[in-house]
């Protein structure tokens, strides 16, 4: 599973920064059938969480109503230099994670 994170390379302490995330995942609805006519089991990322500076700062609980290759955008307050960490798990129990460093000045 590929994932992309976008955040500013650096920010001032107290600044509200925008975080964007894109995860490669089919978000299989469970409503489709394969070529043999067998239903394809639902497989979506149920929970995706973002931790930064020792705390969960954002969490998404999703259903098949979220588009394939989920895109999420939210904000957080820059507190200290460190990793912004994402982790998620899908219905099949496959987990993914990605992190990116934020440098905080001032």
Partner 1 sequence: MKREGMNAGSDMKHGNGADLARRRLLSVLAASLTWPLWPRQAEAQLSLLDPNVLAFARGAEVRRGRVRLTMPPLADNGNTVSLRVVVDSPMSPQDHVKVIALVSSRNPEPNIARFYLGPRAGRADIATRVRLAGSQRVMAVAEMSDGSFWLDSHEIVVTMSACLDESL
Partner 2 sequence: MAAGIGVVGVVAQERVLPLTELRSGIEFAGPEVRELQQDEFANPGMLWVERGARLWSEVPRTAKAQSCAGCHGDAATSMRDVAARYPRIDSTSGELLNLEARINQCRSERQGQTPWSFESQELLSISSLVSHHGKINGLNVVIDGAARPHFEAGRRLYYQRVGQMNLACAQCHEANWSRTLLAERISQGHPNAYPAYRMEWQSLGSLERRLRACYSGIRAELYPFGAIEHRQLALFLAWRAQGLPMEAPGVRR
Among 66, 82, 85, 100, binds partner 1 (CB under 8 A): 66
Backbone angles phi, psi at 89, to 5 degrees: -145, 140
Interface pick for partner 2 out of 16, 34, 67, 93 (rule CB under 8 A) = 67
| Contacted by 13, from partner 2, partner 1, none: CB < 5 to 8 Å by type | none
CA angle 61, 63, 67 (to 5 degrees): 110
Q: Which residues bind partner 2 (CB under 8 A)?
A: 2-4, 6, 20, 22-24, 26-27, 67-69, 71
């Amino acid at each position: 599973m590929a994932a992309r994170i976008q955040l500013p390379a650096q920010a001032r302490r107290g600044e509200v920064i925008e975080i964007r995330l894109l995860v490669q995942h089919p978000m299989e609805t469970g409503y489709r059938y394969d070529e043999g006519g067998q239903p394809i089991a639902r497989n979506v990322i149920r929970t995706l969480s973002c931790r930064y500076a020792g705390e969960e700062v954002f969490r998404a609980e999703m259903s098949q109503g979220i588009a394939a290759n989920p895109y999420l955008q939210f904000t957080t307050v820059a507190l200290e230099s460190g990793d912004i960490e994402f982790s998620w798990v899908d219905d099949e129990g496959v987990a993914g994670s990605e992190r990116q460093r934020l440098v905080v000045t001032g």
